Amino acid sequence: MTMPELPDALAQDPTHPRPQLVRHHWQDLGGEWDFAVTDVRVTSPSDVTFDRRIVVPFPPESPASGVHETGFLGAVWYRRTVDREDLERAGLSESRDRVLLHLGAVDHAARVWLNGQLVATHVGGQTPFTADLTDVLDVHGDNVLVVRAVDPPQDVSVPRGKQDWLEQPHVIWYHRTTGIWQPVWLECVGDVAVAALTWTADVPTATVSLDVRLTGHLEPGARVRAALRHEGVLLAEASVSTLGDPDVGIRLVLPRQRNGQQHEDLLWIPEHPTLLDAAVVVEDAQGSAVDLVGSYLGLRTTGVGDDHFLLNDRPLVVRAVLAQNYWPETHLAATDAMLRREVELILSLGFNTARVHQKAEDPRFLYWADRLGLMVWAETANAYAFDARAVRHLVTEWTDLVVRDRSHPSIVTWVPLNESWGVQHISHDPRQQAYSRSLADLTRALDGTRPVVSNDGWEHTSSDLWTVHDYESDPGVLAKRYADRGAVDALVAGVGPAGRRLSAGQPAGRRPVLLTEFGGVSLAAGGSEDWGYSTASDAEALEDQVGGILRAVTSSRALAGFCYTQLTDTGQETNGLLTAGREPKIPVERVRRLVRGGS
CATH superfamily of 31-182: Galactose-binding domain-like (2.60.120.260)
Q: What are phi and psi of 582, to 5 degrees?
A: 70, 35
**Average pLDDT, whole number, for the chain?**
95
Q: Is the pLDDT confidence value at 6 over 90? A: no
> What three-state secondary structure class fits 292?
strand
- All CATH 3.20.20.80 domain ranges of the chain, comma separated, are 311-382+408-594
CA distance 40 to 21: 36
Share of the chain above pLDDT 70, in %: 99
C-beta of residue 458 within 8 angstroms of C-beta of residue 420:
yes
Q: Looking at per-residue confidence, does 5 or 158 come out higher?
A: 158
Architecture of domain 311-382+408-594: Alpha-Beta Barrel (3.20)
Q: How far is CA 175 from CA 178, 245, 379, 509, 542, in A?
A: 10, 46, 19, 41, 27
**Is 3's pLDDT higher than 60?**
no
CATH 2.60.40.10 domain residues, the chain: 193-202+204-297
| CATH code matching the domain that covers 193-202+204-297, chosen among 3.20.10.10, 1.10.10.60, 2.60.40.10, 3.40.50.170 | 2.60.40.10
Which residue ranges does the chain devote to CATH 2.60.120.260? 31-182
Q: Can you say how many angstroms the Cα of residue 363 is from the centroid of all Cα atoms in its chain?
A: 6
Residue 465: which pLDDT band, with cuts at 50, 70 and 90?
Answer: very high
**CA-based nearest residue to 276, from 265, 287, 289:** 265
Cβ–Cβ < 8 Å for 580, 338: no
Question: Nearest 10 degrees: CA dihedral of 544, 549, 550, 556?
Answer: 140
Closest CA to 251 of 261, 241, 265, 240: 240
pLDDT in tens, 267-311: 999 999 999 999 999 999 999 999 999 999 999 999 999 899 999
- DSSP-derived letter for residue 483 is S
The bridge status of strand 184-189 relative to strand 98-103 is: antiparallel
Are 457 and 517 in contact by the 8 Å Cβ rule? The answer is yes
What is the C-alpha to C-alpha distance for residues 501 and 549, in angstroms, rounded to an integer? Answer: 23
Give residue 119's identity as a one-letter amino acid code: V
Closest CA relative to residue 191, chosen from 287, 95, 280: 95
pLDDT, tens only, 226-277: 999 999 999 999 999 999 999 999 999 999 999 999 999 999 999 999 999 9
